[in-house]
Amino acid sequence: MANRKKDQLKAIGRSHVWVWIVLMCLIFVLSSIVLGIVIGMYASTLMFGKFNSEYSRVSEIAAIYENVSGSSAETADIFAGIGRNMIITDSDNNIIYESGTNTCSFKGGEVNEISFFSMFNSGYGEEDTVESYTVYEDSRSKALYVSGTTLVVDIWEIISDYGSYGIDPEILDASPEESGISNAQLEDIMLGSGIISLPYWLSIDINGGSQHFISKAYISANLNDVAVMAASLIGISALMILLFIILIVNIVNSVLKRNKILKVFFTDVATRGHNYMHFVINGGETVRRYSNHGVRYAVVDLSFVNYRFFCICHSVEEGEVMLRKVYNTIRANIDPKRELLSHCEYSEFALLLRFTDEEALKRRVTSIIEQLEKVHGEHRFIFHAGIAVLEPDGTPGKDGVPIRRKDADIELLYSNACTARDSLVENGESAVAMFDEKLIDDKKWIDAVLEHQQKALDNEEFMVYYQPKYDPRTDELRGAEALIRWQSPEFGFVPPGRIIPIFEKNGFITEIDHYMISHVARDQKMWLDRGYKCVPVSVNVSRAHFIESDLAEQIRDMIDAAGCPHELIEIELTESAFFDDKNALVSTINRLKSYGFAVSMDDFGSGYSSLNSLKDMPLDVLKLDAEFFRGENGSGRGEIVVSEAIKLAKSLNMRTVAEGVEIREQVDFLASQGCDMIQGYYYAKPMPKDEFAQRVSAGRAVVQ
């Protein structure tokens, strides 16, 4: 799961960059091709132009030579000052006149129209022929084409394919006067002017083909040509560079954007730290990299229990400031390189911690919690932590397959840590719980209860059991407590201990309280109508219910709806209810009393602030917790405490009920101390309503 998230995340980031890189390569290749084509076309056009004009020039010289038709000496006169190298051959290739240095390699051939496309064409010269020229290689120009200009190399290679050409032996004489062209003009014609001159030899048939006029020619490029070429090269290169810059800027931009997205993706808004995604993505890698046979990892779910309450009393903004402080405090307690911390959502934090010893790990988490409790300064915060350890390599997993740390499923570990944290009961104290496979069964049960609870309520699967309360001095029935049981078609008979804590957590307890109150009121009314001597029945009202400001009125209305007299109903509050908003609780108790309901404090003595609560709460009944009588046999310090508690209740004008009394000695002792009622197995266990109805009608205790 974590790997899938990781891969998806990587794919999002990567695909962007790759698109740009592929695009960049494409543009690079395309622009190189375009650049090559443009330069090639330009160069071939230029060359063909140059070649033609050089041919015309050499033709002109040849024509002059034909025209002068003088002696060899006159010919020499005409051409000597010009400096252009030339040869005149007869039809047997005998040199009949030579001027300048003869560097002609005599490897003649025909050159057809030179074009960019024809240069790539193996059938060069066949389709594209416009005119043909006989061209000989210049032995010295080899150095030129070897060292560089591709076009020249290509041309000479093509030219050499045509093989040798016969040289005309005839020499014509002509004087400059006869030609009508000045030496200066001739020089200009013959040498040309340019900054790049690539020599080759051109042959022109003269005197009806009986002689060949072979002259050194040049493909020369002047400043203009070079400038145009350079300008187009610079222009296209600049365009390419610009394109490159744009692409690189885009790539850098998209990489930065990706990093930004990843940062946002991994950042928690409230704490500005890491979020759960970061935890999941990096958890596996951290475990793989830093754990070894001695050092293991554990995932901790840390819950800020009273965060919601803090936000209600203060504000969400202040709450977030606290979350930030909590985050920073935890961070100061972990190794940032080899351990992880993230704020998951709302008031949950996920930690990945290294450990060698489970007890030491528990102590470490407890110590972090102790610091977090004091983060505010004025308020004491409560934290619950669940710990799920990654078992050592090779330990058989649930499915029997040995665990390997490289396959660590961080999300599953976090879920297990949450399950462990979920198992903790909210009692106003911070706590730490270790994950255990048994908790999974508990979790399944919790889910099953959640799934069936509404149907069970609608079908009246919940039953009211009554546990009588007797006067220990007279054994007379004085009251009872209504206790829930679930007769489930799916799960059978379910005791309250298996459902009440779940209902208290999932909020369904308020429905249960209403159900119990209205059923007890209905039963009481029914027994009254039958003429029984009814006794008050106490009903447990959950702490969660007390946040409703009109709770007293809701209870009154339900009881009135059943037509039950108020004095037959008593409300039991558990001690834990007294941790919440004290003023609201006092107000509800006072209103309940004003409607004629007695209110009792349940489980007195099981918590630590009982005496304090007694001071503030105007209660009618004090129920001594069963814990007082567990293991007691009528002597010792416990009795002193019980005796003092009864005295205290009396001086506060409260009646006392002792719970969990199982033996006669306890009954006698409590009777001697003036305890008003006893609710315990000695007299009776909780029983179905019909059985209790019989007791009501009988009135006196029937001790089993």
Q: Compare residues 255 and 500 and give the one whose CB is closer to ligand C2E.
A: 500
Do the beta carbons of residue 679 and residue 465 sit within 8 Å? no
Q: Least separation, in Å, of the C-beta of 447 and ligand C2E?
A: 21
DSSP 192-240: ---SEEEEEEEEEEEGGGTEEEEEEEEEEE-HHHHHHHHHHHHHHHHHH
SS3 443: helix
Q: Least separation, in Å, of the C-beta of 325 and Ca ion?
A: 39
Contacts of residue 264, Cβ cutoff 8 Å, sequence gap at least 6: none
Q: Compare residues 348 and 602 and give the one whose CB is closer to Ca ion.
A: 602
DSSP 524-549: HHHHHHHT-----EEEEE-GGGGGST
Do the beta carbons of residue 573 and residue 602 sit within 8 Å? yes
Do the beta carbons of residue 660 and residue 627 sit within 8 Å? yes
Q: Least separation, in Å, of the C-beta of 617 and Ca ion?
A: 16
Q: Compare residues 44 and 679 and give the one whose CB is closer to ligand C2E.
A: 679
SS3 624: strand
680: partner contacted, choices ligand C2E, Ca ion, none (Cβ within 5-8 A by kind):
ligand C2E
- At CA 304, angle to CA 303 and CA 310, rounded to 5? 155
Contacts of residue 411, Cβ cutoff 8 Å, sequence gap at least 6: 1, 2, 280
68: partner contacted, choices ligand C2E, Ca ion, none (Cβ within 5-8 A by kind):
none
Q: Compare residues 399 and 690 and give the one whose CB is closer to ligand C2E.
A: 690
Q: Which of 36, 47, 167 is nearest to 111 (CA)?
A: 47
Q: Least separation, in Å, of the C-beta of 467 and ligand C2E?
A: 6
Compute CA distances 424 → 303, 387, 435, whole Å: 11, 12, 11
681: partner contacted, choices Ca ion, ligand C2E, none (Cβ within 5-8 A by kind):
ligand C2E
280: partner contacted, choices ligand C2E, Ca ion, none (Cβ within 5-8 A by kind):
none
Binding site for Ca ion (CB under 5 A): 540, 572, 602-603, 659
Q: Compare residues 354 and 623 and give the one whose CB is closer to Ca ion.
A: 623
512: partner contacted, choices Ca ion, ligand C2E, none (Cβ within 5-8 A by kind):
ligand C2E
542: partner contacted, choices Ca ion, ligand C2E, none (Cβ within 5-8 A by kind):
ligand C2E
DSSP state of 635: -
Q: Least separation, in Å, of the C-beta of 665 and ligand C2E?
A: 14
Q: Least separation, in Å, of the C-beta of 520 and ligand C2E?
A: 9
Q: Compare residues 258 and 498 and give the one whose CB is closer to ligand C2E.
A: 498
First to last CA, the chain: 60
Contacts of residue 186, Cβ cutoff 8 Å, sequence gap at least 6: 61, 64, 78, 79, 82, 176, 179
Residue at 577: amino acid letter: A
Q: Compare residues 440 and 463 and give the one whose CB is closer to ligand C2E.
A: 463
Q: Compare residues 261 and 450 and give the one whose CB is closer to ligand C2E.
A: 450
Q: Least separation, in Å, of the C-beta of 303 and ligand C2E?
A: 24
Residue at 68: amino acid letter: V
What distance in Å separates the CA atoms of residue 448 and residue 410, rounded to the nearest whole number?
26
Q: Least separation, in Å, of the C-beta of 464 and ligand C2E?
A: 8
Q: What phi, psi does 401 have (nearest 5°)?
A: -75, 130
Q: Compare residues 179 and 467 and give the one whose CB is closer to ligand C2E.
A: 467
Run of H or E residues at 622? strand 621-624
- Rounded (10°) CA dihedral 638, 643, 645, 647: -170
Q: Least separation, in Å, of the C-beta of 603 and Ca ion?
A: 4
676: partner contacted, choices ligand C2E, Ca ion, none (Cβ within 5-8 A by kind):
none
What distance in Å separates the CA atoms of residue 181 and residue 82, rounded to the nearest whole number?
12
Q: And the tokens for 564?
A: 């039950």
Q: Least separation, in Å, of the C-beta of 660 and Ca ion?
A: 8
Q: Which of 492, 497, 505, 389 is nearest to 447 (CA)?
A: 505
- The partner residues of 343 in beta bridges, in order of sequence, read 275, 349
Q: Least separation, in Å, of the C-beta of 309 and ligand C2E?
A: 21
Q: Compare residues 484 and 537 and give the one whose CB is closer to ligand C2E.
A: 484
Q: Compare residues 104 and 541 and give the one whose CB is closer to Ca ion.
A: 541
Binding site for ligand C2E (CB under 6 A): 467, 483-484, 495-497, 500, 509, 512-513, 516, 540, 542, 602-603, 626, 659-662, 679-681, 686
SS3 680: coil
Q: Least separation, in Å, of the C-beta of 575 and ligand C2E?
A: 10
Q: Least separation, in Å, of the C-beta of 571 and Ca ion?
A: 10
Run of H or E residues at 29? helix 2-68
Do the beta carbons of residue 554 and residue 548 sit within 8 Å? yes
Q: What phi, psi does 388 have (nearest 5°)?
A: -120, 120
Contacts of residue 363, Cβ cutoff 8 Å, sequence gap at least 6: none
Q: Compare residues 477 and 484 and give the one whose CB is closer to ligand C2E.
A: 484
Q: Compare residues 178 and 662 and give the one whose CB is closer to ligand C2E.
A: 662
Q: Compare residues 299 and 483 and give the one whose CB is closer to ligand C2E.
A: 483
Residue at 346: amino acid letter: Y
Do the beta carbons of residue 64 and residue 84 sit within 8 Å? no
Q: Least separation, in Å, of the C-beta of 530 and ligand C2E?
A: 24
Q: And the tokens for 467?
A: 């546990």
